[in-house]
Amino acid sequence: MIIKKGKEMNLISTLKMTALSAALLLVGCSSSTTTSSTKSIPSVSSNAVYSKPRTLDNFNDYVQFLKGKAAAEGVSASVLNAQNNIQYMQKAVDLDRAQAGRSKRNADQPQLPNPNGTTNYLNKVLTQNKVDIAEERYWEVQAPLQQASQRYGVQQEYILALWGMESSFGHYQGSYDVLSALATLAFDGRREALFSKEFVNAMKMLERDHIQRHRMLGSWAGAMGQTQFMPSAFLNYAADGNNDGVKDIWNNQFDAFASIANYLHTVGWDNKLPWGVEVTLNQPLDLSLSGIEKNKARSLSDWQSKGVNLASFSQQEQDKLTALSQADLWLVRPDKEVGRAFLVSNNYRTILDWNKSNYFGVSIGMFADRIKMATGL
């Protein structure tokens, strides 16, 4: 009995020691995990320049450099340390360089007259099929569309046009990891200031719990959701359309439409004005008079005195011209002297705040016109 009791005592001691060791091991693991998640990220000034070679071996180091910039703007170490698996995306670089190549060719070589530039662009992006889909979707999304329009003072057809043009009515939002895309394009260096800032703003979105990392997907350039907002646009303009406390531009049409309308409203939209009208010039007009700079605005009567007239006398165009009669107007000639011309209001200038391409601006205006005609708005 004594021997048996001794064995029991030894067994109990052994079990106690094993339990103690396991507890210490768990405490150690927990301590290690906590230390890893709260590891300090040294702050980096927003105007700091990365000095190491831009080789793939340094990409992870560069990501830490960007995290340092985010830390300097208040993003917590726990959020920054949780964002792992930020990968270099060669496809994003290839697409960005292809875009840059087109721009560089246009900048380095005198632009050849292209009277069909605007027309070719519109034929590509503004098809009858797209207008038909817009008409179908209009009847399906009336509740969120009308609510956003009334709340922010932006006509429904413009909200619908931007939604349709940017993400094909919410269907094509992109499937790239946004942090990887932004870090890659910043590292590539062509537009580092832009993309490093957007990387920091993407981190702020995560810090503020607007979205979880695994759902933060977008285009190769980092544009997200049904609105295709960059992170900075999300922080500035995303809106909670259905008052549920979330700004979900990915899945919620109330939020997507409210965000589009809030953007336009914030940068100066006037719901009493159309975007503009297409015009013809019945006499030569100095190209320097065209453009959307503030000092180039003139009244309708002033433009008419210079030989600027409506290109079409349809009822819709005449109604728009009447609405524009007391507004400041700008002459836009996307294809220079040889192509189509447009008299535009300040609303057109707000569309260019969204996307600086005149082709894009004209396509949104004309898309909105066709939606209005098709739906009877």
- pTM recorded for the entire structure: 0.86
Distance of CA 307 to the CA centre of its chain: 39
What per-residue confidence (pLDDT) applies to 112?
67
Q: How many C-beta neighbours within 10 Å does residue 352 have?
A: 17
What per-residue confidence (pLDDT) applies to 39?
80
Task: Yes or no: say if 66 and 49 are a contact pair by the CB < 8 Å rule.
Answer: no
- CA nearest 247: which of 263, 259, 232? 259
Task: Yes or no: say if 215 and 203 are a contact pair by the CB < 8 Å rule.
Answer: no
- SS3 sequence of 16-51: HHHHHHHHHHHHHHHHHHHHHHCCCCCCCCCCCCCC
What per-residue confidence (pLDDT) applies to 338?
86
What per-residue confidence (pLDDT) applies to 113?
66
What per-residue confidence (pLDDT) applies to 11?
41
Residue 149 and residue 294: Cα distance in Å, rounded? 27
- 352-355's contacts with Cβ under 8 Å and 24+ in sequence apart are 352/292, 353/267, 354/162, 354/263, 354/264
Residue 344 and residue 91: Cα distance in Å, rounded? 37
Residue 55's alpha-carbon distances to 8, 48, 96, in angstroms, are 64, 19, 18
DSSP tag of 337:
G
Q: Going residue by residue through the chain (377 aa), what tens digit of pLDDT does each one get? A: 333 444 444 444 444 444 444 443 433 443 344 445 568 899 999 899 999 999 999 999 999 999 999 999 999 999 999 999 999 999 999 999 988 765 554 555 666 667 789 999 999 999 999 999 999 999 999 999 999 999 999 999 999 999 999 999 999 999 999 999 999 999 999 999 999 999 999 999 999 999 999 999 999 999 999 999 999 999 999 999 999 999 999 999 999 999 999 999 999 999 999 999 999 999 999 999 999 999 999 999 999 999 999 999 999 999 999 999 999 999 999 998 889 999 999 999 999 999 999 999 999 999 999 999 999 99
- CA nearest 64: which of 47, 89, 81, 45? 81
